[in-house]
Chain A
Amino acid sequence: MIIKARNLSKKVIFNGEEINILDNIDLDISSNTSLAVVGPSGSGKSTLLGLLAGLDSPSGGEIFFDDMPLHSMPEDSRAKIRKESVAFVFQNFELLAGLTALENVMLPLEMKNNKRARQIAEKYLEKVDMLNRTMHYPQQLSGGEQQRVAIARAFACEAKVLFCDEPTGNLDSSNSKMISDLLFDVFNESSTALIIVTHDEDLADRCDQKIRLIDGKIQ
């Protein structure tokens, strides 16, 4: 198992009141499989993704990432795991506005001191059909194009797990279809585990597993 979660819970205090966002979640995810997390807004999907990716700490329970206890690690160690083993695709693309498409894809590779950062970045930009836009800044690209660059950046990391938070949430239907095709094309060529949080049932249906969250619990 690449990710194992046991009795995972997340509570927040809001206006003095304790709210359970996630309640006793158990989850096992293997390498090279895809998992969709679906559910209505506010059901805790993004919170679950944040915990599994090591962006946030749980209030209770355990998460093991490649057998490492993510739940008890300090931020420095979690950052190390994210750098080496995790990649993301976000709803808002989250590209750095001051860097070109190529530089954005190169960034995580350069952080790992990968000497072939440029070649790998160009290879993945070619896979997402963006090789002709490498020197463009994010603001010069359409939403669909930005998401393609974000997918190239995610796969270029050659991470163990790719987390996608509503990857088609900001796109029209034709772009959504194109992005989801692209995501699975590249996924199928990789050995990465794919975890997608989405409202898009078509996208969820393409995954190997699907879980539905309602009020912080798996149904």
Chain B
Amino acid sequence: MRSLITSVLLGLCCLFGSAHAALDPAVLQGFASEDFGERLAVIGQLGQIGDEDARRVLEALENDSLAIGGGKVLIYDGEKAIDAASGVALEAVPEDIDTLTVNNRMRTAIEAAKAGMALFSTDPTVRLTAATRLRDGVDATTLPLLEKALASEQDAAVHEVLTLAVSRGNLGSGEAAKRLSAAIALADSGDPSVLALLEPRLDASVEPDAAVRAAVADAIRSIERRLAVAGAIGTVFTGLSLGSILLLAALGLAITYGVMGVINMAHGELLMVGAYATYVIQGLFQKYLPGMVDGYLLAAIPVSFLVAALVGVLMERTVIRFLYGRPLESLLATWGLSLVLIQTARTLFGPQNVQVDNPSWMSGGIALLGDTVLPWNRVVIIGFAAFVLVLIWLMMQKTRLGMFVRAVTQNRSMAGCVGVPTARVDTLAFAIGAGVAGLGGCALSQIANVGPAMGQGYIVDAFMVVVVGGVGQLAGAVWAAMGLGLIAKFLEGWTGAVVAKIVVLVFIIVFIQKRPQGLFALKGRFVES
């Protein structure tokens, strides 16, 4: 492999060798020295020269193909030898040829030198990457390079990174003025590692100049504030994303329990059905449409809805419709249904979790300051929750079916009298609730484990969201889900995930004592309460 690369390089050298002004062989002579310090200096010099020949030499050095032979520095791939300075191939390989040994310090220096060269690339993204890489380890050799690059940099983003990098380097400068301007410039940084760099400078024995110390203190405060803001945004974001997950898990239940009053303990298993439907679609795409595998999720959305809705219709027709108005009985019967569904999944797909992959467009994320990254899959989940919410709202408020559902749940016999087919409406409403649960399962498959028992983990959460929000209140479910998500994530920072979850559950239990009707309670005159 290595020899292949070298021969390619050699070929390139032959092509361009004549066109370029050759390197000064005197510069390269340092490599012949036994002293590593001298070799390092050569690497630094090559980095400053920064042309194609310098790069060629550095790459050869990196690939262990730089050699000394016949008093010259040669690029040698084991068969042919080229003069490193001029790029001209030798007719015969010298007999005393000996490959240069590269140690770790030299490798680091090579990296830095190459990055330094990249600083002057014509491509701004290459410059940005190089500047970012150099920023974290500024030292005496790279600092002049960075300053040189900064002076000629036009691109704003690269300029910013370079300013910070130069400032980091200047922090250790001997001139107080340089240190001062560095400290002031660093106040714009959002990097926790800058904090570690600044903090020792508060000590008078390290930093004799009082003005610089004051500037350093200011910079630390400013960076800490920025990090705190970024952290808070990150927490709010994860809280909202957890809230969206809770909402997706609960929205189907908000229809079947909240609107229809059916206690469906198999709700979690409807999520599971949606997740497995997604898994199957993924498998089909991998097998028959491998080129479009990233699009499987779009196909999985309607499929998971339909499959879960179909299961819902079966459940409603065979069991649940006999139990309207008997909540405790439907609780037990639907629990039975959930066991049957779990075992069915186990029989069909095996007891292990199955692998559902994110499409490639969902990987990565939006980087905020510091370590805070907003992953795309979470962003998509939040958006998807909003989409499902709007879908349900439109369905309930704007369609004839939604009107029928509301009519039947408010006054069944009256609705029947004016010609609403109540039994069919029940079935359809339940199917929609189940289908929405399937959508939730499709979304959950992107961020959580998919297995036969996955639903059991969501059933308590889903009921909590509906109960806290107030039964029959779609808006209540949204507030409750987001509120619980945010509370859980903020607590998590203090207490860890498990304790946060326990605290949230206890909080809900206490909350229900105070507001038994949930957040959005309706008052009224009831026959029996």
**Chains A and B form a bound pair:** no
